[in-house]
Amino acid sequence: MELFHAAASPYVRKVKVVLHETGQAEDVTLVESAQTPLSPNPANQNPLGKIPCLTRPDGPALFDSRVICRYLADRAGADLIPAARQWEIQTLEALADGVMDAGILMVYEIRVRPEDKQFPDYVEGQWAKITRALDAIEAQWMSHLAGPLNMAQIAVACALGYLDLRHGARDWRSARPALADWYAKFGERSSMQATKPE
CATH number for the domain including 155? Answer: 1.20.1050.10
Overall domain count for the chain: 2
103-131 average pLDDT score: 93
The 10 Å Cβ neighbour count of residue 82 is 13
d(CA 100, CA 83): 25
Q: Please give the Cα distance from 145 to 119 (Å, whole number).
A: 35
Q: CA–CA separation, 193 vs 13, rounded Å?
A: 11
For residues 159 and 108, the model is more confident at: 159
Amino acid at 193: Q
Query: Does 152 share its domain with 181?
Result: yes
**pLDDT > 90: percent of the chain:** 81
Q: Which of 18, 44, 76 is the last residue of a domain?
A: 76
List the beta bridge partners of residue 95: none
* pLDDT tens per residue, range 47-84: 777 889 999 999 999 999 999 999 999 999 999 999 99
In a domain, 197, yes or no: no
Domain check: are 72 and 110 in the same one?
no
State whether residue 5 is helix, strand or coil.
strand
Burial class (CB in 10 A: 0-12, 13-18, 19+), 168: exposed
pLDDT in tens, 146-170: 999 999 999 999 999 999 999 999 9
Beta pairing partners, 5: 32
The bridge status of strand 2-5 relative to strand 29-32 is parallel
Asked which of 52, 76, 100 is the last residue of a domain, the reply is: 76
| pLDDT band at residue 128 using 50, 70 and 90 as cut-offs | very high
Provide the domain limits for residue 170: 83-189
**Within a 13 Å sphere around the CA of 185, how many CA atoms are in the beta-carbon half?**
10
Residue 148 lies in a domain: yes
Q: Please check whether residue 6 lies inside any domain of the structure.
A: yes
My answer on whether 98 and 166 are in the same domain is yes
